[in-house]
């Protein structure tokens, strides 16, 4: 609760059966700007849509985050992955 952040995604790693959820801290809550808080909230909505299986809403939410942060590499990666119908929402690391 002390940190404003966003979920990077579920990451499947070698040696683990279940993927791990990875988060990116954006700011300490007490120091977070309104823009950081809005961005994190919009990102949470997009990830929740993805978890519900609503890829269209997830894509729209990530695109909105892209308007808030045009140079965001993670958002661009997510949009690229969501364009592939076979992508199941898990990033996989094949080696250590």
Return the number of other C-beta atoms located less than 10 Å from residue 32's C-beta: 17
Walk along the chain (96 residues) and give the pLDDT tens digit of each residue. Answer: 899 999 999 999 888 899 999 999 999 999 999 999 999 999 999 999 999 999 999 999 999 999 999 999 999 999 999 999 999 889 998 776
Instruction: Please report which helix (H) or strand (E) contains residue 28, including its range.
Output: strand 20-28
pLDDT of residue 23: 96
Q: Quick one: angle between helices 55-68 and 34-51, nearest 10?
A: 160
Vertex 82, ends 76 and 87: CA angle to 5°?
125
Q: What predicted TM-score, i.e. pTM, was given to this entire model? A: 0.89
Q: Angle 61-65-66 (CA atoms, 0-180°, nearest 5)? A: 115
């Amino acid at each position: 609760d002390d940190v404003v952040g966003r979920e990077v995604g579920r990451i499947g790693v070698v040696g683990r059966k279940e993927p791990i959820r990875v988060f990116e801290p954006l700011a300490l809550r007490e120091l977070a700007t309104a823009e950081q808080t809005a961005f994190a909230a919009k990102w949470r909505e997009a990830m929740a849509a993805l978890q519900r299986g609503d890829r269209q809403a997830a894509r729209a939410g990530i695109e909105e985050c892209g308007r808030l942060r045009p140079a965001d590499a993670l958002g661009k990666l997510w949009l690229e992955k969501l364009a592939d119908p076979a992508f199941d929402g898990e990033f996989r690391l094949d080696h250590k």
